[in-house]
Amino acid sequence: MAIKAYILDLDGVIYLGSDVIVGAVDSVNRLWDHARVLFLTNNSTRSRDNVAARLNASGIRCTKNDVITAGYAAAAHIKKHHGFQTVYPIGEAGLIEELKAQGHTICEDADFVVVGLDRDLHYDKLRIGLQNIVDGAEFIATNTDPVLLTEHGFVPGSGAIVHALETAAGVSPLVIGKPEPPIMDIVLDILKLQADECAIVGDRLETDILAGIRCGMSTVLVLSGVETRESLEHSEIEPDYVIESISELAAIEW
């Protein structure tokens, strides 16, 4: 079956920290000539508007509606299943913007605690989040990625924050981002396609590739980010295709 949509991760696929990966701009823009392109990231620090603006500035064709962040997915999930809610976010401006855009109220005494990557994390945020969860608030994680790859190497990811709060509360969160179903359900709802008409391209076996396998998409691992040939050999997760970078995507014979 012909691929009708490409779902592209950002960190490690399009970008390495603040740097654009060589060949990414031309490769992505060529995809638009014959397929739908959707950018899918577990990183909740930027809003969809900001992600689209960054891609445009890099020369990649993109609008806000072509982007799904884990922050947006968390906000949309809460709205769809629970309506407008009070939310205490542990995260950055992108997460807060997406929660507000879906009509949720940001406050310290909340019915939901939503946790994402927060590079301004301090003890008081964990304290307030914990108290809300102990008082009965629903605990949601945008994702549990342990690390984030930057141009300077690995830094702690949102999973490090989520697990700290999980340990304190003794409660496991509902995880929205890859590889979990909530974010992939949103992807397919937006695309209006069957999973086997889609290909997901990412640099992480346990998030991008596993997400695609679980929902029946074709999977492409790029080695420009987190994974290496060695980590691939030691993993039970098997992508359909392995390429060095997104610049080789056009050469795949589906």
DSSP codes, 14-44:
TEETTEEPTTHHHHHHHHTTTSEEEEEES--
pLDDT at 1: 63
Same domain, 170 and 197: no
Q: In what order do the strands lie in the sheet with 36-41?
A: 67-69, 36-41, 5-8, 198-202, 218-222, 241-243
| pLDDT mean across residues, the chain | 96
For the chain, count helices (H), then strands (E).
Answer: 9, 15
Q: Which domain holds residue 133?
A: 82-175
- Tally the domains of the chain: 2
* Of residues 147, 254, 121, 162, the one with CA closest to residue 206: 147
Same domain, 166 and 89: yes
Q: What is the CATH number of the domain that holds 161?
A: 3.40.50.1000
> What are the tens digits of pLDDT across the range 223-233?
999 999 999 99
Q: How far is it, in rounded angstroms, from Cα 72 to Cα 143? A: 12
> What are the tens digits of pLDDT across the range 102-148?
999 999 999 999 999 999 999 999 999 999 999 999 999 999 999 88
Tell me whether residue 198 is in a domain: yes
pLDDT at 52: 98
Same domain, 170 and 184: no
Tell me whether residue 56 is in a domain: no
Record the pTM. Answer: 0.95
DSSP-based helix, strand, coil % in the chain, nearest 5: 40, 20, 35
pLDDT at 232: 95
Tell me whether residue 134 is in a domain: yes
pLDDT at 134: 98
Span 184-189, mean pLDDT? 97
